Amino acid sequence: MLCTTSNGMDNSLILQLMTGSLIGLGAGYVGSFMVLRRMSLVGDALSHVALPGIAISLLININPFFGAFIALFLAILGIWFLEKRTELPSETLVGIFFTLSLALGLLLTPEPELMEALFGNISKITTLDLIITAGLVSVTIIVLRRISEGLMLGIISKELAQAIKIPIHKINFIFLILVAFIVALGLKVAGTLLMGSLVIMPAAAARNTSLSLSQYSRWSTLFGVLSAIGGILAARYFGIEPGPTIVLTAGVIFVLTLFFKHK
Amino acid sequence: MDSNAILTVKNLNVSFDGDHILRDLDFSVSKGDVLAIVGPNGAGKSVLFRTLLGLIPYSGEIEWIKDLKISYVPQKFSIDRELPLSTEEFLKFKKKSMADIVNVLKSVGIGSEHKNDSDHYMKHVKQHVLNQRLGWLSGGQLQRVLIAWALLDDPDVLLFDEPTAGIDVGGEETIYNLLKKLHGERNLTMLLISHDLNIVYKYANNVLCINKEMICYGVPATVLDPTSLAKLYGGEAGFYQHDHHGSR
């Protein structure tokens, strides 16, 4: 199998690399603001929520993307509500609630699909997946660019943002929806256990190397794309699923950036 | 009311979940006034600012005259040293024009030692302020940048919550002198929250003391008498009264 040079093989690798890069791009960009908003833990655990969604989709025979997206959407609604209503760090609740949904998902997911749901299955990616990914990632990037100033000001000081009439709760909500899109899209590539870290790690690495917001966004998306490409190629080479290799690549990039950390 | 008034507040009440934060405030601000707002911690001073800005629901009357540009510098906040945001990017959130940004930085006294050599000035300010992370600026520099931010769209009124929190004593004086200078140059009306009564005497022409309700309002030298101070800062009340009795 590995030594065939048939068109089918090459096409599927190209398809995987393209879809993976797009997801890395979106994850890097969205993740850059997750990290700034001190939502690293949330981001990391958020993808677990998708599992019961996937399980239910499989049980009632609909596209798992939709089930995952709905589950993520509900989780995000919960986070948004908490953020809006309280100043409390939501971390404990997130830790409890997200892990519970993982447990629930593990019980509900039919055995044959479990590994796939947990770690992704990139070989199943189709041209349609690529098109959907390209569309949603483009939307995410365009929308996020438009709200990025408001998000950043909200991070510096909520009051400063509100005083110049930035609709901060609305912007936060839009942002969280974008996060749900990217995480749901990435499940096929990295799986529910690991997709969250693809959102967080490139951004954490980029923060080490950047003085300004524009540098930071550029580095974060670049690291996201590199993690996806590196991970997919490594997985292909070793004949394993790419979820773990993508995350490991992101981890290596993070460690390397520590040597370039400012001050 | 006063025909020069740009802000009239009548019977203002604010409560959160049944808790009265502000009760029956009445005051007005005229063009060019410097109004100091004093009171102990938790007196509702910052809440008053946010209410004046329309960020908090209230009952009563808050009336700004029309077409007034109001700028606000919230209470000192710390900016994470790790935050990847340059000072230039921060200021550009408010206004994109580089010329305006440089002008306003000059007027808040950033890089003042190179003021007369414009090439050198640009180089210095770019290197030490604009291209730096916002979180790396010193306390005094950050406060100046925040004032610059507030001035960028040429406001008529400046609301300033604790202008000198977190700045050392020498720096405090400088910031107030700067505010005084800007007040003169730009024909600004200013509302300042301060805990320092010396500053109030020195810079404000009116003072409003609140501790959830209005305790005094008027010219600082007249209204800040021992009785109202005692009422304002509950802790010292016993001391003042005691002293009073003893000396008579």
pLDDT digits (tens, 9 = 90+) for A208-222: 889 899 999 999 999
Q: Max CA-CA distance within chain B?
A: 67
Q: At what angle do helices A168-209 and A242-257 cross, to 10 degrees?
A: 70
Q: Which of A36, A214, A215 sits opposite B83 (nearest CB)?
A: A36
Predicted pLDDT at A1: 40
Angstrom distance (rounded) from CA A46 to CA B220: 55
Q: Which of B72, B79, B133 sits opposite A211 (nearest CB)?
A: B133
| Arithmetic mean of pLDDT over chain B | 83
On the 0-12 / 13-18 / 19+ scale of CB atoms within 10 A, A200 is buried
Provide the CB-side half-sphere exposure for A170 (13 A, CA).
9
Predicted pLDDT at A263: 61
Closest residue, chain B, to A158 (C-alpha): B74
Judge contact between A212 and B85, C-beta under 8 A.
yes
Mean pLDDT, rounded, for B196-225: 86
| Domains of chain A as residue ranges with CATH | 7-260 (1.10.3470.10)
- The secondary structure of B219-238, three-state, reads CHHHHCCHHHHHHHCHHHHH
- DSSP letter for A240, please: S
Closest residue, chain B, to A219 (C-alpha): B84
- Does residue A168 belong to the interface with chain B, where contact is any CB pair within 8 Å? no
Residue B209 has pLDDT above 80, yes or no: yes
- List chain B residues with CB under 8 Å of A157: 74, 77
Cβ pair B88:A213 closer than 8 A: no
Mean pLDDT, rounded, for B219-226: 83
- List chain B residues with CB under 8 Å of A85: none
Cβ pair B134:A216 closer than 8 A: no
Judge contact between A198 and A250, C-beta under 8 A.
yes
Mean pLDDT, rounded, for B80-99: 89
Q: At what angle do helices A242-257 and A7-36 cross, to 10 degrees?
A: 50
H helix runs in A109-239, sequence order: 111-119, 127-156, 158-163, 168-209, 213-238
| Domains of chain B as residue ranges with CATH | 5-68+156-247 (3.40.50.300), 87-143 (no CATH)
Closest residue, chain A, to B159 (C-alpha): A163
Interface test with A, best of B45, B77, B82, B126 (most A CBs within 10 A): B82
- Does residue A261 belong to the interface with chain B, where contact is any CB pair within 8 Å? no
Residue A3 has pLDDT above 50, yes or no: no
Closest residue, chain A, to B75 (C-alpha): A159
Residue B169 has pLDDT above 70, yes or no: no
CB-based contacts of B56, cutoff 8 Å, min separation 6: B14, B47, B50
Angstrom distance (rounded) from CA A124 to CA B66: 62
End-to-end CA distance of chain A: 50
- Does residue A211 belong to the interface with chain B, where contact is any CB pair within 8 Å? yes
pLDDT digits (tens, 9 = 90+) for B172-203: 777 788 888 888 888 889 999 987 787 788 88
Angstrom distance (rounded) from CA B150 to CA B169: 23
Mean pLDDT, rounded, for A227-248: 92
Residue A196 has pLDDT above 90, yes or no: no
B42 sits in the region (left: phi over 0; alpha: psi -120 to 50; else beta) called left
- List chain B residues with CB under 8 Å of A215: 84
Give residue A211's Cα distance to chain centre.
24
Phi/psi at B52 (nearest 5 deg)? -60, -30
Predicted pLDDT at B244: 38
Taking alpha carbons only, the member of B198, B119, B92 closest to residue A213 is B92
**How many contacts (CB atoms, under 8 Å) link A and B?**
55
